[in-house]
Amino acid sequence: MGYTLFCAGAPGKAHLVDMQGRFVHVWQHARGIQYATLLSDGHLLCRATPSENVRGQRGLNGQAPAVFELDWDGT
C-alpha cells in the first residue's frame, strides 16, 4: 500500500491520498504550504507560500519566507 503527498489549492494545503485516490489527511497552515515532505516520524516539513511581491521570480529570491514542521494535528 502506498501514498501520494501533494500540495495544491489556495492558500496552499498538503494532501495525503492513498492509491485508490481517497484523501487520508489534509494539512494547512496560515502561511500556506507550497512544498512539503513527509518525515519518518509522520510529521510534515513544509515550505511556506511566498508573498505576492516575489512570486514568479527565478531562483530563491526570498520565495521561501519560512520553513516549518507540522505534526499530524497541524500544530
Task: Give residue-wise pLDDT tens across range 15-24.
Answer: 999 999 999 9
Parallel, antiparallel or unpaired: strands 23-28 and 13-18: antiparallel
Q: How many alpha carbons fall within 13 Å on the CB side of residue 16?
A: 15
Write the single-letter amino acid at 6. Answer: F
Domain count of the chain? 1
Residue 41 belongs to what domain range?
3-52+64-70
Query: Do the domain assignments include residue 58?
Result: no
What amino acid is encoded at 61 in this protein?
N
For residue 56, the model assigns a pLDDT of 60
Q: Are 48 and 31 in contact (CB under 8 A)?
A: yes
DSSP letter at 75 equals: -
Tens-place pLDDT, residues 43-58: 999 988 877 766 566 5
Q: pTM here?
A: 0.78
